[in-house]
Amino acid sequence: MKQKSLSLVFLFVTLIHSGISYAQDSSTVFKAKIAIFAPLYLDSAYDATGNYKFGSSLPRTIIPGLEFYEGVQLALDSLAGEKAPLDIFVFDTRASGKTLKQQLEEARSDSVQLIIAYVSTVTELQHMAFSSQEMKVPFINVNLPNDGGVYDNPYLVLLNATLRTHVETIYRYIQKYYPLDDLIVFRKKGQFEDLIHSYFDEAGKSTLGVPLKLKYVNLADSFSLNQLTSALDSNRHSLCISGSLDENFSKRMAQQLATVSSQYPLTLMGMPTFENIASVFTGTEYKGLEVIYSTSYYNPRTDTVSKKIINWFNIKMFSQPGDMAMRGYEATWRFINLLLRFKKDIAANISRNEFSLFRELDIQPVLNKKNLSLDYFENKKLFFIKMQNGLIKEVN
């Protein structure tokens, strides 16, 4: 991790001293103008005397946005190699001298035709969505799995599926592969837990198949193993569903279920936050436990482009690219190519897949249930990942 931090620092300092704009001259009539938004924290990296404040490391809050920008820049370099006519405007959403609203107004004055962003908060999403709608340009939200309460906005595109989409897709997955299991939803008190419960209920009411018989077990944060096993049957396979987004709650459940997985045939189904803690399931304390969770992003990194990116990071950065670097590359390559091909008609062609990389996307319109108007677009494609005894693989 130390070498990774040093590599990121090098890129960070390069950004500070080289500026964060990218442009290519071209005689082509149409020139694509793209705004990139990311939390880079450039202004806070130096003290009043101009010295870099963090030594040979970076604060954890800086790394995701910087990795995202790494991927964006690599994709821009690839596009420049193909002589794509581009004007790129990069905005640091943590800049001290300008508010996000001022940056968005600057993007408007630059007549940008596409916004690609790493979004940190719901408020940021709302501001960007409102501005993109006013400008009538697509806004690609690469990472935040939240619609922010936005509606009636055909320019907002979510690449990370919302919680509702995850729960609906998990429901169908269970119907297909575990309909005869004991289906036990372990949950705790909480707003998101209630949302998960309601989404499961809605999925059951709207399904065309036989509704699932879900059994809900309410637990406190300090629940015991006996409270889990009392809901299990040693003579039947149980699908234990973590009905919470709380990562500590889920890890505690997984640890305790692993201790009895040889006595009770079971599988643990997780919510999308399991992606954040997936690495812990390779530990010996989880031996024997089968864990499955849904995710919007899965890249086995076996394709040609992924290998080239990995090779570049190995040679130039002495590190491996993080998922946010790969996502930054993917979104930049895909949607800028769509802009170059369809120009002013990109919004009407945002779901096309000619320029897919790494994973399949299924960008679908999300309709308002009351009036059937288009609220936004969302990537509905989810992958299911199975982990057991240190092995990780995609499952259908």
The average pLDDT across 126-141 equals: 98
Phi, psi of 383, deg, nearest 5: -110, 145
Residue 43 located in a structural domain: yes
Closest-CA residue to 75 (of 327, 390, 262)? 327
| Within a domain: 373 | no
Distance CA 245, CA 92 (A): 29
Residue-averaged pLDDT of the chain: 90
- DSSP secondary structure, 93-135, as one string: TT-SSS-HHHHHHHHHHTT-SEEEE---SHHHHHHHHHHHHHH
377's enclosing H/E stretch is strand 374-379
Residues 128 and 153 both lie in one domain: yes
Q: Could you tell me which residue, 310 or 1, shows the higher pLDDT?
A: 310
Across residues 294-307, what is the average pLDDT?
A: 94
Whether 152 and 208 share a structural domain = no
**How much is the pLDDT for 311?**
94
Give yes or no: residues 16 and 109 share one domain: yes
Mean pLDDT for the stretch of residues 282-311: 94
Number of H helices, E strands in the chain: 10, 15
Report pLDDT for 37: 97
Range of weakest confidence among 9-23, 65-79, 198-212, 245-259: 9-23
Q: Is the pLDDT of residue 94 over 70?
A: yes
- Is 325 part of any domain? yes
Q: Please give the tally of structural domains in the chain.
A: 2
- Specify if 331 maps to a domain: yes
What mean pLDDT do residues 109-121 have? 97
The percent of residues above 90 in pLDDT, for the chain, comes to 79
Residue 344, pLDDT score: 93
This prediction's pTM: 0.90
Domain range holding 74?
2-161+300-361
CA 127 to chain centroid: 19
pLDDT at 10: 47
Query: What is the percent of the chain with per-residue pLDDT over 70, rounded to a whole number?
Result: 90
- Is residue 368 a part of any domain in this protein? no
The CATH number linked to 59 is: 3.40.50.2300
Q: What is the pLDDT of residues 1-47, one digit of tens each?
A: 344 444 554 455 455 444 444 455 545 468 899 999 999 988 776 66
> Which pLDDT score is estimated for 59?
75
Could you give the CA distance from residue 234 to residue 218 in angstroms, rounded to a whole number? 21
Tell me what the mean pLDDT of segment 273-293 comes to. 93
Instruction: Tell me what pLDDT residue 55 has.
Output: 63
Which has more pLDDT, 228 or 20?
Answer: 228
pLDDT above 90: residue 57: no
pLDDT band at 369 (very low <50, low <70, confident <90, very high): confident
Asked which of 193-197, 257-261, 277-281 is least confident by mean pLDDT, the reply is: 277-281
Asked if residues 138 and 155 have their Cβ atoms less than 8 Å apart, the reply is: yes
200 and 94 within one domain? no
Is residue 109 within 8 Å of 133, Cβ to Cβ? Answer: no
Cβ-based neighbour number of residue 64 at 10 Å:
18
Same-domain check for residues 190 and 157 = no
**Could you tell me if 90 and 24 lie in one domain?**
yes
